[in-house]
């Protein structure tokens, strides 16, 4: 009973090891399965070298390898209950198709030169598809299993190696091991660094999401308190103070309702260029974007800003009787708003002016160098939007 428990514990540890390695380093199973399946089924010169007495055995080994690779390729069709065993199956297929078959063929062909050279190919493929430690384990285990299989089912192992074959065999074994310990180890260290960064970014994302939820809850609570404060406190103030406080509260609550983020203008206007096609608009020419500013990003609610562009471009397209091209012009400007308790005073802020127009001419900076928040335009061919830098 204790032996059975130990065996089950060992199998469980092997399963966990396979799952961890695939999770960490991935598994190019479709590419590997396709390549090896074609290699096993296509009858090229390497498979024709053995003596005829072993032909049936080699054909059976090849077909079994092709079948195993076919099951790798068809992983998406596996029953859901078998998917947890896929990592172990992946490593077993690699073991069978690379070191096991390579060693068996080397023995069956009495160290044919093609299969001696194949050792180098096996080492390279192992180091490509798995990490260096797993490659060493699979390679060593595959060779031992191949030697045991040959001894049990074929006969005594008797290799007649000439000097060249011995030299190649030793050379490839030593340098293959060195490659695995030096270069493949560096690849694993790079993978480990990427995995550490990925885990860190995941933690940051979870922390940021939690903070965002808390911020939204605080915003909703603050909006509720501001509405109650506005109803109770403002009637007690004089008219000037009341107007100023209303102005502050309205703008503050409006800002809180926005989902303000950093908006990259190049990426954003890439999406804007697709609006006519998305809305099914028929324009004489494509949208034209002219930049007269060094600003590359702004703080804004990207979704609402995009809605503004959709509505503006749709409006202009429907009223574009002269079939002029729609131009989007970006330029530096100023945004202004009056201060209620300071008569005649205008507070100015640096802003980015976005003009969407079908007109050939637009007001220049000298004609209109500041845009008031409470201003409006009645020109159907000109829509201007101001956003803080």
Instruction: Supply the pLDDT for residue 88.
Output: 93
pLDDT at position 254, please? 55
The whole-number pLDDT of residue 64 equals: 95
Q: What burial letters (b/e) apply to 348-379, b meaning 16+ CB within 10 Å? A: eeebbbbbbbbeeebeeeeeeebbeeeeeeee
Under the banding of pLDDT at 50, 70 and 90, the label for residue 155 is confident
pLDDT band at 345 (very low <50, low <70, confident <90, very high): low
| pTM greater than 0.75 (yes/no) | no
Q: Taking all residues of the chain, what is their mean pLDDT, rounded to a whole number?
A: 76
Q: 331 pairs with which residues across the strands?
A: 292, 353
pLDDT of residue 379: 41
In this prediction, residue 63 carries a pLDDT of 93
More confident residue, 334 or 37: 37
More confident residue, 339 or 145: 145
Between 311 and 52, the higher pLDDT residue: 311
pLDDT of residue 125: 87
CA 8 to each of CA 3, 12, 14, 201, 346: distance values in angstroms, whole numbers, following the listed order: 9, 6, 10, 36, 80
More confident residue, 367 or 75: 75
Q: How far apart are the C-alpha atoms of 229 and 116, rounded to whole Å?
A: 86
pLDDT at position 253 over 60: no
- The answer to whether the CB of 275 falls within 8 A of the CB of 309 is yes
Which architecture, in CATH terms, is 259-388?
2-Layer Sandwich (3.30)
Any idea where the domains of the chain sit in the sequence?
2-160, 259-388
């Amino acid at each position: 009973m204790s032996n059975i428990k130990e065996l089950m514990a060992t199998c469980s540890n092997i399963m966990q090891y396979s799952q961890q390695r695939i999770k960490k380093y991935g598994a190019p199973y479709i590419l590997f399965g396709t390549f090896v399946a074609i290699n096993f089924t296509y009858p090229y010169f390497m498979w024709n070298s053995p003596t005829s007495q072993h032909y049936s055995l080699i054909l059976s080994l090849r077909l079994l390898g092709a079948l195993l690779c076919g099951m790798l390729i068809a992983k998406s069709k596996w029953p859901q209950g078998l998917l947890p065993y896929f990592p172990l199956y992946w490593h077993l297929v690699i073991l069978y198709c690379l070191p096991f078959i390579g060693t068996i063929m080397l023995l069956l062909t009495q160290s044919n030169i093609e299969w001696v050279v194949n050792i180098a190919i096996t080492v390279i493929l192992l180091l490509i598809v798995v990490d260096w430690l797993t490659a060493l384990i699979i390679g060593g285990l595959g060779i031992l299993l191949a030697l045991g299989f040959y001894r049990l089912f074929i006969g005594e192992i008797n290799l007649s190696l000439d000097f060249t074959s011995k030299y190649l065999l030793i050379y490839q074994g030593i340098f293959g091991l060195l490659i695995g310990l030096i270069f493949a180890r560096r690849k694993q260290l790079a993978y480990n660094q990427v995995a550490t960064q990925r885990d860190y970014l995941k933690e940051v994302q979870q922390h940021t999401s939690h903070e965002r939820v808390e911020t939204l809850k605080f915003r909703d609570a603050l909006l509720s308190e501001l509405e109650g404060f506005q109803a109770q406190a403002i009637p007690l103030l004089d008219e000037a103070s009341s107007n100023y406080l209303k102005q502050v509260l309205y703008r503050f609550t409006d800002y809180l309702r926005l989902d303000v983020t950093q908006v990259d203008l190049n990426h954003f206007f890439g999406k804007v260029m697709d609006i006519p096609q998305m809305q099914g608009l028929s324009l004489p020419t494509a949208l034209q974007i002219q930049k007269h500013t060094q600003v590359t990003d702004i703080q804004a609610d990207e979704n609402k800003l995009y809605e503004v562009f959709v509505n503006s471009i749709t409006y202009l397209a429907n009223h574009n009787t002269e079939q002029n091209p729609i131009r989007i012009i970006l330029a530096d400007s100023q945004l202004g708003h009056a201060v209620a308790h300071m008569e005649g005073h205008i507070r100015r802020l640096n802003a980015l002016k976005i003009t969407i127009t079908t007109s050939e001419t637009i007001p220049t900076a000298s004609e209109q160098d500041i845009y008031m928040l409470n201003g409006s335009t009645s020109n159907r061919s000109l829509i201007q939007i101001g956003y803080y830098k």
